[in-house]
Amino acid sequence: MKCLTNEQIQRFIDAEMPSLQPDQFQHLTACASCQELYKEQKVLAQLIKEQINSVAKSPERIPEFQIPASITPIAPRVKRFLLWAKVAALLIPACFVWKMANKPEEKEFKPTAESIQLYEMCNSVDANTAFQENMIITTITDVNGKVVKCGTN
Amino acid sequence: MEQFNDIYKQHYTSIYRLVSKFRVNSHEAEDIVQDVFVKLYLQFNSGNQVQYPKTWLYKVAVNVCINTVNRRKETEVLESISHLEYGTSDSLESDIDQNEREEIIRSALLKLKEQERLIVILYSEGLSYKEIAEVSGVKFTSVSQNLSRALEKLRPLLKNHYYEMLNQ
């Protein structure tokens, strides 16, 4: 079996190897070179930890926590407002999506032949006569083409 | 706010020690720690839950330290500040020894890549690989790789101490 890598040995030292394979463990106990590396690396890791920790300083005392003047506690009223704002931010898009999903289908415009005839009769304009001499009839129809309102100039 | 006060008392020293491992002086360290806890206070104040305060504090502290050190780099040449204003001991000689030793360690750490340096510092804090990954933003699977590489890089830089210890 191949010797263990530095990384594998480091994980083993730090007990971070989730499952050391039995053959790897067997190798580590049998291989002199891996054992040497394990020993060296363990000392190195320990030494570096100690050296770095020797640089660290401890505070002389734990000071009382001072809330900076610029920070004012959020009033309950503002908190409530923020809560409602969050609720609104969730509900408004939800309502919009719901409304879009349940939008009634638009009816196709299908006027009857009778309606078309009536419309053409009412809206025939003679282009050879003056505009004022033409009687323009304006009609409003519903979706089925039925005249609901009628007016003239 | 009782919960905040408990966390403050429980973690103040460890955060201060972590911050002091970066190239910051005592005043900066105090300001950074205060800044970190103010951020935590704001989290509590706005009603947000901090699930793992220890990891959260480490993460924020590391970010603030990196920003402080980087900002300083922009304005001035890096100088030895390890011995500045961090209390005094009785003997001047031991002070100098301590300062020299600290300087060796800090210089060795400076030779690492920023990510490796951060991982080694967090490792020295006794954090698990999972916590290191969360604080540093490095993938969990890459922590051991970066760590063993960083330790290998530090080996020749601290060789005098290393061989003394190995031969003990």
Q: Is the pLDDT of residue B36 over 80?
A: yes
pTM of the model: 0.65
Q: Which of B13, B45, B162 sits opposite A73 (nearest CB)?
A: B45
**Topology (CATH) of B96-168:** Arc Repressor Mutant, subunit A (1.10.10)
**Where would I find the beta strands (DSSP E) of A31-76?**
none
Kindly state the average pLDDT of the residues B4-26: 89
Q: How far apart are CA A151 and CA A139, in angstroms?
A: 6
**For chain B, how are helix, strand and coil distributed in percent, rounded to 5?**
75, 0, 25
pLDDT at B12: 93
Going from N- to C-terminal start, the domains of chain A cover 6-55, 113-152
Residue of chain A nearest B44, judged by CA positions: A73
State how far residue A36 is from chain B, nearest Cα, in angstroms.
11
State how far residue A31 is from chain B, nearest Cα, in angstroms.
20
Contacts of B99 (CB under 8 A, 6+ apart): B82, B83
Q: How far apart are CA A56 and CA A37, in angstroms?
A: 29
Mean pLDDT of chain A: 82
- Say what the ipTM of the complex is: 0.78
The residues in A 30-49 lying below 8 A from B, measured between CB atoms, are 40-41, 43-49
Going from N- to C-terminal start, the domains of chain B cover 1-87, 96-168
Q: How far apart are CA A74 and CA A83, in angstroms?
A: 12
DSSP string, B36-96: HHHHHHHHHHTT---S-HHHHHHHHHHHHHHHHHHHHHHHS-----TTSSS---S-HHHHH
Q: What is the pLDDT of residues A82-139, one digit of tens each?
A: 889 999 999 999 999 998 888 877 777 888 888 888 777 776 677 787 777 777 777 7
Which CATH architecture does the domain made up of B1-87 adopt?
Orthogonal Bundle (1.10)
Residues constituting chain A = 153
pLDDT at A68: 73
Q: What is the pLDDT of residues B55-94, one digit of tens each?
A: 999 999 999 998 888 887 655 544 444 444 444 445 556 6
